[in-house]
Amino acid sequence: MRNQFISNKIMKPAMLISVLATMSMILAACMSAATPATTPSVTQPAATQSVSSASTVTIDVASDPTLGKFLVDSKGMTLYVFTKDGLDQSNCDAKCMANWPPLVTSGTAKVGSGVDASLIGTATLADGAKIVTYDHMPLYNFIKDTKPGQISGEGVGSVWFVVSPAGKPVETPSSATPTAAPVVTMTESTINVASDPTLGQILVDGKGMTLYVFTKDGLDQSNCNASCMANWPPLLTQGKPILGPGVDASLVSSAMLADGTKIVTYNHMPLYSFIKDTKAGDTAGQGVGSVWFVISPDGKIIGK
């Protein structure tokens, strides 16, 4: 009996040691299994940094035998400006951008050799993204350019052009052909005032043909494209239109068209005639499409 008691006294510490060893092994296994869970939090910042740097663009300079030096992106793809854009403002809508992808950035664009860093800026697009600007003009690629060096977007619609390192649109002889050439005259335009029994006093040109404004135009900016101008010829000027009695000289100015010619503006609105007006006094263009109207000598749109 005494021997059995001694044996039990000896075995209990041995069993305790065994249990403690087992618990230590389980605890070690749990700690080992938990360790990998901390790994993603260590590597995550690196992935975030990679995405951020990828969205910062670079602008470089390339050279063409005909066009000379012009801007390209970091992949050597040609960059273009849209002459219907405003300063630091894109007028290229979603459908337009499907063909002319904007050069967007999440930070300050990097510049290569020959690029004037002082001309770099950004403008905010409708979706909140930032498009890179050069000399205040937004920059785009063209989907039909499939490899570096291609310039298939040059002169498209007489409104898309490559841009020089100096910030100027570069036009080839073919793309520089005036869109509104048929209405260009060597003599300076004239603005007079005529009286209509229904509309009252309205502006007319030197031949007495009614002048109109297009309410979709911006201030000192024509949004009438080549097809539009085929029906609504712009009143062009070489800089100083001739003004008849009753015309307010302080309201007369000009705006640049896509082809480089100047259209007369009155109270900051570009002036046009209408091809369906066949003689002096005709006002067939009044109210067309609810966007074309005559204008009074005090600069007010009549009938809008």
The reply to whether 8 falls in a domain is no
pLDDT in tens, 220-240: 999 999 889 989 999 998 878
Residue 151 shares a structural domain with residue 95: yes
Let me know whether 96 and 131 are in one domain.
yes
pLDDT per residue as tens digits for the range 267-290: 999 999 999 999 999 999 999 999
Tell me, yes or no, if the pTM score tops 0.85. Answer: no
* Whether residue 50 has pLDDT greater than 50: no
Those residues whose C-beta lies under 8 Å from the C-beta of residue 260, and which sit 6 or more positions away, are 171, 176, 178
Report the alpha-carbon distance of residue 86 to residue 260 in Å, rounded.
15
**Would you state the structure tokens that stand for residue 117, as one six-digit string?**
């860093």
Task: Supply the DSSP string of 163-209, one letter for each residue.
Answer: E-TTS-EE--TTTTS-TTGGG--SSPPEEEEEEETTTEEEEEETTS-
> What pLDDT does residue 67 have?
87
Least confident of 39-43, 68-72, 75-79: 39-43
- 99 in the same domain as 122: yes
Distance of CA 173 to the CA centre of its chain: 25
My answer on whether 95 and 151 are in the same domain is yes
Q: What is the pLDDT of residue 20?
A: 56
Instruction: Give the pLDDT mean for 61-83.
Output: 93
For 241, the domain range is: 181-294
3-state helix, strand, coil in the chain (%, to 5): 25, 30, 45
The verdict on residue 122 lying in a domain is: yes
Residue 55: pLDDT band with limits 50, 70, 90: low
SS3 8: helix
Question: Is residue 41 in some structural domain?
Answer: no
In tens, the pLDDT along 145-157 reads: 999 989 999 988 8
User: What stretches of the chain adopt beta strand conformation (E)?
Assistant: 58-64, 68-73, 80-82, 104-105, 110-111, 120-124, 130-134, 137-138, 160-163, 169-170, 190-196, 200-205, 212-214, 236-237, 242-243, 252-256, 262-266, 269-270, 292-294
Q: Could you tell me if 235 and 194 lie in one domain?
A: yes
Q: Please tell me the predicted confidence (pLDDT) of residue 179.
A: 41
Query: Are 192 and 275 in the same domain?
Result: yes
Residue 180 pLDDT greater than 60, yes or no: no
Number of helices and strands (H, E) in the chain? 4, 19
**Measured torsion, CA atoms of residues 95, 93, 229, 250, in degrees rounded to the nearest 10:** 180
Number of domains in the chain: 2
Is 144 in the same domain as 241?
A: no
Residue 21: which pLDDT band, with cuts at 50, 70 and 90? low
